[in-house]
Amino acid sequence: MKTLYTLIVHSENIAGLLNQVTAVFTRRQINIESLNVSASSIKGIHKYTITAWCTEDEIKKVVKQIERKVDVLQANYFTDAEIYQHEIALYKLATPGFQANPVASKIIRRHAARVVEVNPTFCIVEKNGMSEEITSLYEELQQFGIVLQFVRSGRVAISTSCFERLNEYLAFREEKYNKEKKDEKYD
Amino acid sequence: MNQQITGAEALMRSLEHQGVTTLFGYPGGSIMPTFDALYHHKDTLNHILVRHEQGATHAAQGFARVSGEVGVCLVTSGPGATNTLTGIADAMIDSTPIVVISGQTPTSMLGTDAFQEVDLVSVTQPITKWSYQIRSAKDVALAVARAFFLAKNGRPGPVVLDFTKNAQTEMVDYEPMTVDFVRSYDTNPDPKEGALEAAAALINQAERPLVLVGQGVELGDAQTELKSLVEKADLPCGCTLLGLSALPTEHPLNMGMLGMHGNLAPNVKTNECDVLIAVGMRFDDRVTGNTATYAKQAKVIHLDIDPSEFNKNIAVDVPVLGNCKRTLKALTELVNEAKHTTWIESFAEYDKVEQARVIEPEIHPTSGPLNMGEVVRAVSEATNNEAILVTDVGQNQMMAARYFNYSKNRSIVTSGGLGTMGFGMPAAIGATFGRPDRTVCVFMGDGGFQMNIQELGTIMEQQAPVKMILMNNNYLGNVRQWQAMFFGRRYSFTPMMNPDYMQIASAYNIPARRVAEREELQDAIREMLATDGPFILEACVIEEGNVMPMTPPGGTVDKMMLEC
């Protein structure tokens, strides 16, 4: 069964790595739904958040093949239940249409979105939230035919597990290296 | 303070620091400063001038495969670099440690479609372990150290260093560097807790165990450890194409070759065993045939250094991560001494069938033209089964793999995963430099011989003692066999008009002999092996010979065809 998985990848900050990560999806003929790349909380380490529809068997293989790249530190996959995730979306609405439909501003308030710019031609509404909320705000506004443009970011996600896998991994690698060095000395 | 040196000179010193003694290359515009630096290092760095960059990569592969060292190539940018792609892809899929250093246009001209510019890093990313552009002379020492560390450690593979021209000419303070740790890549991973115990428990309960021996055993230098395990627990083995010399052919537990054209017994028994122990192999489709019918009855134990191999093609019950030199040793301590006499004896009946219906007629025919298998076996025996076998790709490869016998480690060099025609001749050149103490025999067909025929020039110049056996059947034989079997005998562009190979040999001043008669074969082989330096033995073999037995593509391993 296909599920929307979120992949979180940590890598060294090396040019060309994004290519290598996405190529794994291409080779396995899996479409990437969204992709977000940014610096992580650890200096020099980049974080990729990728979503894709696929089977668990596929995502497991994808994760292993991404992790196989020598500059990738770690790759893990999550279902929506295992992460807290957010997106941001911007909606550009036609001001005359917006004013003519008082329900529209109620909808915006109900969705906890905010108007960030207004001029006589258009206004811009900003919303952050879960994917479905963002889609549903779009659909509700669109029924008035007033949406001129709609953009949404890729997903940013954080795992809800108590383990900080990356920190643990880095500590483990250092420890193993030091131990091997020590063993070598005594050999 | 040290005297400053150029980036090109830093590369030379870095290569020497890595212990490099041999490189295979071809000069050109963007790598000229490096070749200029090489001019002053001729005493320590033996550069072999090939005749085509593809030849350089295969030679580096041959060198690496027989010596266990990293093979090195030095080529120019653009076409020089793209000519190396086949060899790089081949090294990737067959886990061969090579470092390809290519020239590149100056950093200031990158992205301008400059003369002989190609974005080599992007092009090679999917077919390398690591691909890196050196943009400044101060990067040289670290890049080279990291390249060699990554190429040979963990699961070996190819690394590309794209060396911009300005980085070659800039001045730099040089300090030798060594890399022994990359935090994002564990070269010596540990098995999961309990994995070895679980594997040992399965082996101890097994009544019909079967070991699949892959190239990982040779790459991990674990031939002794493998032997200890299989002898202690009395485990019969089948070898993959690349794992053939990891266990001597004559070893009583070696049941032969796996795969599409392997031996009948180990293939059939794959679908009868109760525990399958795969060591350093990757369940290639040429080994498994149809995975839906492959070893379904068996519990599968998989020993590999690359975790992405587990469950990739075949579901694994007990994955054992790690260098098999370590894991095999640990496993040997945990398994009980055992005997599986009845099970092992049951291989013999299939062996007998194959001997009678396939092997005997192939190697001891009494009439008709020479057979390919007959030529291979005669060469193998004449070298006391001690030579290094190099093959090209096709029928010559399958026949050579099947009928050559192996008594020493690291004795087969062949293009397994990529199936690269033209691999044989340059790889054999590399092998003579990697192991100058051993005899190197390369079997080629008339197709593959011509696909890198220019390397005869390298052989001539170096007097590389390559014993070339050209099995000429005037066909692209393997494709012809498939056309005969699966395409209604429509021989679409497989018959080939051949040149006079004796004249070619004489143009290159390489001793040669053509043999068509059975009575002459032994003497011709004797002459080849007695001749110092290179030799071409052209064997005119049966035109429509077939490699049997065969599991047709997508077929089931226990239903091999014995005749076609």
Report B:121-160 residues touching A (Cβ under 8 A): 121-122, 125-126, 129-131, 150
Residues B241, B338, single domain; the answer is yes
Task: Examine the domain organization and report whether B286 and B377 are in the same domain.
Answer: no
Query: Do residues B168 and B203 share a domain?
Result: no
Q: CA-CA distance, B428 to B425, in Å (whole number)?
A: 5
Q: Kindly state whether A176 is in contact with chain B, defined as any CB-CB distance less than 8 angstroms.
A: yes
Nearest to B238 by CA among B264, B273, B212: B212
Residues B403 and B505 in one domain: yes
Residue B319 lies in a domain: yes
What's the pLDDT score for residue A16? 87
Provide the 8-state DSSP code for B358: I
Contact assessment for residue B134 and residue B161, using Cβ atoms and an 8 Å cutoff: yes
pLDDT at residue B490 above 70?
yes
With a cut of 60, say whether residue B496 has pLDDT above it.
yes
B444 assigned to some structural domain: yes
Q: Which of A19, A73, A65 is nearest to A42 (CA)?
A: A73
Using a CB-CB cut-off of 8 Å, the residues of chain B touching A16 are 121-122, 125, 131
Residue type, B508: Y
Q: Which among A23, A170, A176 has CB closest to B126?
A: A23
Is B50 exposed, middle or buried (CB count within 10 Å of its CB: 0-12, 13-18, 19+)? Answer: buried
With respect to residue B361, please indicate whether it lies within any of the assigned structural domains: no
Question: Do residue B311 and residue A61 have CB atoms under 8 angstroms apart?
Answer: yes
Instruction: State the pLDDT at residue B158.
Output: 98
In a domain, B512, yes or no: yes
Which amino acid makes up residue B99?
V
Q: Residue B162: its chain A contacts at CB < 8 A?
A: none
Residue B66: what pLDDT? 98
pLDDT of residue A187: 58
The whole-angstrom separation of Cα B222 and Cα B330 is: 12
Residues B511 and B388 in one domain: yes
Quote the CA–CA distance of B75 and B327 in Å, as a whole number: 39
B310 assigned to some structural domain: yes
Contact A71/B184, CB-based, under 8 Å? yes
- The single-letter DSSP state of residue B185 is B
* B286 reaches A (C-beta below 8 A): no
**Closest residue to A16, CB basis, from B125, B181, B307:** B125
Taking the CA of residue A65 and the nearest CA in chain B, the distance in Å comes to: 6
pLDDT in tens, B45-65: 999 999 999 999 999 999 999
Residue B289 shares a structural domain with residue B378 = no
Q: Are strands B46-49 and B22-25 parallel, antiparallel or unpaired?
A: parallel
Kindly state whether residue B52 falls inside one of the protein's structural domains: yes
Tracing tokens 């003519």 back to the chain, one arrives at: A100
Least Cα separation, residue B238 to chain A (angstroms): 27
> Which contiguous run of DSSP H or E holds residue A126?
strand A122-129
pLDDT in tens, B185-230: 999 999 999 999 999 999 999 999 999 999 999 999 999 999 999 9
**Cα–Cα distance for residue pair B36/B514, rounded to 1 Å:** 43
In a domain, B432, yes or no: yes
Range of the domain at B94: 5-172
* B168 and B223 inside one domain: no
Q: Are residues B241 and B275 in the same domain?
A: yes
Q: Residue B134: which CATH number?
A: 3.40.50.970
For residue A173, the distance in angstroms to the closest alpha carbon of chain B comes to 6
Contacts of B183 in chain A (CB under 8 A): 73, 170, 173-174, 177
Q: Give residue A164's pLDDT band: very low, low, confident or very high (50, 70, 90).
A: confident
3-state SS of chain B: helix, strand, coil percent to 5?
Answer: 45, 20, 40
> Are B29 and B150 contained in the same domain?
yes
**How much of chain B, in percent, has pLDDT values that exceed 90?**
99
pLDDT at A15: 84
Residues B465 and B376 in one domain: yes
Instruction: State the smallest CA–CA distance between residue A74 and chain B in angstroms.
Output: 8
Convert A140-174 to b/e letters by CB count within 10 Å (16 or more is b).
bbeebebbeebebebbbbebeeeeeebeebbeebe
CA torsion, ordered B322, B324, B328, B330, to nearest 10 deg: -40
pLDDT single digits (tens) B434-461: 999 999 999 999 999 999 999 999 999 9
What local confidence, expressed as pLDDT, does residue A154 receive?
A: 87
Residue B331 sits in the same domain as residue B206: yes
Cβ contact B521:B378 at 8 Å: yes
Two structure tokens written together for B60: 């580096």
Given an 8 Å threshold on Cβ–Cβ distance, is B185 in contact with A71? yes
CB-CB: which of A19, A27, A70 is closest to B185?
A70
- Whether residue B145 is found in the same domain as residue B203: no
The whole-number pLDDT of residue B435 equals: 98
Give the pLDDT confidence of A100-111 residue by residue, as tens digits: 999 999 999 999
Residue B302: pLDDT band by 50, 70, 90 thresholds?
A: very high
B126 or A154, greater pLDDT = B126
pLDDT (0 to 100) of residue B2: 66
Of B122, B307, B308, the CB nearest to A19: B122
Kindly determine whether residue B182 and residue A180, on different chains, have CB atoms separated by under 8 Å: no
C-alpha torsion sign, points B526, B527, B528, B532: positive
User: What is the dotted CATH code of the domain comprising A84-152?
Assistant: 3.30.70.1150
Q: Residue B380: what pLDDT? A: 98
The pLDDT of A146-171, averaged and rounded, is 88
Q: What pLDDT is stored for residue A41 in this prediction?
A: 86
CATH top-level class of A3-78: alpha beta
**Rounded CA separation B263/B14 (Å):** 46
Residue ranges of chain A assigned to CATH 3.30.70.1150: 84-152
Q: Is A183 exposed, middle or buried (0-12, 13-18, 19+ CB in 10 A)?
A: exposed
B477 inside domain: yes
Mean pLDDT within B172-177: 96
Question: Which part of chain A has CATH 3.30.70.260?
Answer: 3-78
Q: What is the DSSP string of A153-167?
A: PPPEEEE-SS--HHH
d(CA B160, CA A43): 27
The predicted model gives B303-319 an average pLDDT of 97
**Spatial separation of the C-alpha atoms in residues B371 and B522, rounded to whole Å:** 14
| B206, burial (CB in 10 Å: exposed 0-12, middle 13-18, buried 19+) | buried
Average pLDDT taken over every residue of chain B: 97
H helices of B355-508, where? 360-363, 372-382, 395-403, 424-434, 446-451, 456-462, 477-486, 501-507
CB A66 within 8 A of CB A72: yes
What is the domain count for chain B? 3
Residues 6 or more apart in contact with residue A178 via CB below 8 angstroms: none
Give how far Cα B143 sits from Cα of A19, B131, B138, B156, B157, Å.
20, 10, 9, 17, 16
- Residue A146, pLDDT score: 94
Of B345, B379, B410, which residue sits at a domain end? B345
Tell me what ipTM this predicted complex has.
0.89
Mean pLDDT for B154-172 is 98
